[in-house]
Amino acid sequence: GENVEQHPSTLSVQEGDSAVIKCTYSDSASNYFPWYKQELGKGPQLIIDIRSNVGEKKDQRIAVTLNKTAKHFSLHITETQPEDSAVYFCAARSNDYKLSFGAGTTVTVRA
């Protein structure tokens, strides 16, 4: 089955700096890679996703890159703000139904 590894497990950045989270996946058949933000006591919220037919996608301060050859994808948050503090999960989908999640990255933005 698919195995998703995520690094780092914790990330502390100064407000205004950039944050980068990296994930690798094992199943070359995976074709959909969403990123979720989870705030304390809430469910995962989709913030951005990328499909295997593109290499990069950007939405305001958030961007995701995908390297299919190396089987890794990354989340980039620029100009971080305190409200970006949360747990971020990457995930990969290798079949029609199942998402496999990474272990999560706790991001803390210091004011």
Partner 1 sequence: EPEVTQTPSHQVTQMGQEVILRCVPISNHLYFYWYRQILGQKVEFLVSFYNNEISEKSEIFDDQFSVERPDGSNFTLKIRSTKLEDSAMYFCASSEKAGFTGELFFGEGSRLTVL
The site for partner 1 (CB under 8 A) is made up of 31-32, 34, 36, 41-46, 49, 51, 89, 91, 93, 95-104
Q: How far is the CB of 32 from partner 1 (least distance, A)?
A: 6
Of 17 and 32, nearer to partner 1 (C-beta) is 32
Q: How far is the CB of 73 from partner 1 (least distance, A)?
A: 15
- CA 90, 91, 92, 95: dihedral to nearest 10 degrees? -170
Of residues 27, 37, 33, the one with CA closest to residue 91: 33
Of 71 and 101, nearer to partner 1 (C-beta) is 101
Of 39 and 79, nearer to partner 1 (C-beta) is 39
Per-residue buried b or exposed e for 40-54, using 16+ beta carbons within 10 Å of the residue's own CB: eeeebeebbebebee
Q: What's the CA gap between 100 and 42, in Å, rounded?
A: 19
The SS3 assignment for 84 reads helix
Q: How far is the CB of 67 from partner 1 (least distance, A)?
A: 18
Q: How far is the CB of 92 from partner 1 (least distance, A)?
A: 11
Of 26 and 101, nearer to partner 1 (C-beta) is 101
Peptide bond into 8 cis (omega under 30): yes
